[in-house]
C-alpha cells in the first residue's frame, strides 16, 4: 500500500511540486491548487461511475472503468444509439457498440477463412433495412435513427455438388420439389408406402461405373435393424428398373458399403461386364431410413471440407 501511495502521491506532491516552484516561482502553487480542484472532481466522478456501472465477468470478478460507464451510462442517454453484432463464422471491421444519433455508420462483414456469407440482416429501431443498407459485404447507414442490430451467418465452402436437391422424377422434374420424399421405399425399383423410409429421385451415373457414392446425414447402413429397406435401385437411360441392391446383401459384384470418417458414408459401385442387368446403367435411386434438408449425396467427388 505504501509503495502504491508513494508512486501515485509522493512523486506528484514532492518531486512535481518542487519542480513546479523552482521552474515557475511561487505563483505555481496557485495554478496547482486550481488544477487540483478540477482534478479532484473528475477523479471522484470517474471512481463513482466506475463503481456504479461495474459488473461481474464470467470468472465472478468485478470489472469496471470508462469502457463500462461510457457504454452503459452515456450510451443510454438521448442522442446515442447502440450497435449489436450477432455474427456466426463471420467478423466485422467496426467494433463500435454505440453511435451518435444522426451520424453515419459503416461496417464491412467478412466471412471467416473457409466460409462464405449465407445470410445477413440489418435492423434499425426494430425495422429491417437490409435491402437499403447492405450490399456486397458492406453495411452503410447514412443517418442513424435507432438502435442497430446486425445478424450474419456464414457456411463452410464445399467443393462438391449435392445430388439430392437436383434429383429428378420420371419426367425430368425435381423429385417431390425437394429431391427426396418421406414415407416411401423402393420395391423392384417402384415406390411403395412405408413409414420411416425415405427415397431420392433419379441421380445420374452411367454404364459400367466404378462409382463412389458419398453420403452425409443419410442413414444407409448394412447393420441397421431395417437394413433390408436400405437399398440402391439402378435404372437405364429410360428410367426403367434394372436391379436393386440392398445394403444387407451387398457384394463385390455390385458394390459395398464402406464406413466413412464418422460424418460421411460411402457406397462403392463395382459392377463388371458379367453383370448384364447393369450394362445399361444410367441412373440410381437411394432408399434409406433418413434423408432431410441437411443430407448430402455426391457421386465420384472428393470431399475436402
255 Rama class: left (phi>0) / alpha (psi -120 to 50) / beta: left
Q: 16 in a domain, yes or no?
A: no
97 and 131 both lie in a single domain: yes
Q: Report the predicted TM-score, pTM, of the whole model to 2 decimal places.
A: 0.51
Which grid cell sits at 256? 459395398
Whether the Cβ atoms of residue 34 and residue 19 lie closer than 8 Å to each other? no
Residue 256 pLDDT > 90: no
151 and 96 both lie in a single domain: yes
Alpha-carbon distance of 224 to 235, in angstroms, equals 25
Instruction: Express each pLDDT in 129-174 by its tens digit.
Output: 999 999 999 999 999 999 999 999 998 877 788 999 999 999 999 9
Instruction: Express each pLDDT in 221-239 by its tens digit.
Output: 766 677 778 888 889 999 9
Residue 265 pLDDT > 90: no
What's the chain's length in residues? Answer: 305
Tell me if residue 192 falls in helix, strand or coil. Answer: strand
Q: 228 in a domain, yes or no?
A: yes
- Specify the pLDDT at position 245: 80
84 and 147 both lie in a single domain: yes
- pLDDT band at 252, cuts 50/70/90? very low
Whether the Cβ atoms of residue 232 and residue 189 lie closer than 8 Å to each other? no
Alpha-carbon distance of 232 to 256, in angstroms, equals 11
Q: What is the domain extent for residue 105?
A: 78-156
Q: 99 in a domain, yes or no?
A: yes
151 and 210 both lie in a single domain: no
Residue 273 pLDDT > 60: no
Number of domains in the chain: 2
What average pLDDT does this structure show over 237-254?
A: 73
Q: 138 in a domain, yes or no?
A: yes
Q: 253 in a domain, yes or no?
A: yes
Q: 105 in a domain, yes or no?
A: yes
Residue 213 pLDDT > 90: no
Which grid cell sits at 227? 437394413
**Other CB atoms within 10 A of residue 140 CB:** 14
Q: 49 in a domain, yes or no?
A: no
Instruction: Express each pLDDT in 87-97 by its tens digit.
Output: 999 999 998 88
Tell me if residue 293 falls in helix, strand or coil. Answer: coil
Residue 305 pLDDT > 80: no
- Specify the pLDDT at position 279: 74
209 and 265 both lie in a single domain: yes
**Domain stops at, among 106, 128, 156:** 156
- Specify the pLDDT at position 276: 60
Q: Which residues pair with 148 in a beta bridge?
A: 83, 124
199 and 86 both lie in a single domain: no
Alpha-carbon distance of 107 to 89, in angstroms, equals 16
- Specify the pLDDT at position 89: 92
Instruction: Express each pLDDT in 184-209 by its tens digit.
Output: 989 888 999 999 899 999 999 877 66
Q: 59 in a domain, yes or no?
A: no
Instruction: Express each pLDDT in 42-94 by its tens digit.
Output: 888 888 888 888 888 878 888 888 777 777 776 565 667 889 999 999 999 99
Q: Which one, of 94, 90, 92, 110, lies nearest residue 144 by Cα? A: 94
Mean of all residue pLDDT scores within the chain: 83
285 and 187 both lie in a single domain: yes
Amino acid at each position: 500500500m505504501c509503495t502504491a501511495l508513494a508512486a501515485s502521491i509522493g512523486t506528484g506532491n514532492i518531486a512535481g511540486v518542487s519542480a513546479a516552484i523552482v521552474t515557475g516561482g511561487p505563483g505555481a502553487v496557485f495554478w496547482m491548487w486550481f488544477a487540483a480542484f478540477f482534478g479532484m472532481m473528475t477523479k471522484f466522478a470517474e471512481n463513482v461511475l466506475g463503481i456504479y456501472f461495474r459488473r461481474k465477468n464470467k470468472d465472478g470478478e468485478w470489472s469496471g472503468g470508462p469502457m463500462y460507464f461510457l457504454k452503459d451510462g452515456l450510451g443510454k442517454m438521448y442522442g446515442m444509439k447502440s450497435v449489436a453484432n450477432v455474427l456466426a463464422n463471420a467478423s466485422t471491421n467496426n467494433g463500435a457498440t454505440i453511435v451518435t444519433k444522426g451520424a453515419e455508420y459503416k461496417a464491412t462483414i467478412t466471412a471467416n477463412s473457409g466460409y462464405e456469407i449465407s445470410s445477413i440482416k440489418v435492423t434499425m429501431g426494430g425495422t429491417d433495412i437490409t435491402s437499403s443498407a447492405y450490399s456486397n459485404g458492406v453495411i452503410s447507414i447514412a443517418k442513424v435513427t435507432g438502435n442497430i442490430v446486425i445478424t450474419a451467418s456464414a457456411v463452410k465452402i464445399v467443393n462438391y455438388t449435392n445430388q439430392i436437391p437436383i434429383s429428378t422424377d420420371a419426367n425430368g422434374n425435381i423429385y417431390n420439389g425437394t429431391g427426396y420424399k418421406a414415407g416411401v421405399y423402393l420395391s423392384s425399383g417402384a415406390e411403395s408406402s412405408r413409414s420411416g423410409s425415405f427415397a431420392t429421385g433419379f441421380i445420374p451415373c452411367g454404364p459400367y461405373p466404378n462409382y463412389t457414392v458419398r453420403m452425409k446425414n443419410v442413414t444407409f447402413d448394412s447393420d441397421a435393424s431395417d437394413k433390408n429397406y436400405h437399398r440402391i435401385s439402378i435404372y437405364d437411360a429410360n428410367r426403367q428398373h434394372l436391379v436393386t441392391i440392398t445394403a444387407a446383401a451387398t457384394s463385390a459384384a455390385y458394390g459395398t458399403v464402406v464406413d466413412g470418417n464418422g460424418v460421411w458414408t460411402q457406397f462403392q459401385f463395382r459392377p463388371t461386364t458379367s453383370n448384364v442387368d447393369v450394362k445399361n446403367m444410367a441412373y440410381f435411386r437411394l432408399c434409406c431410413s433418413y434423408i432431410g434438408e441437411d443430407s448430402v449425396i455426391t457421386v465420384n467427388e472428393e470431399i475436402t471440407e
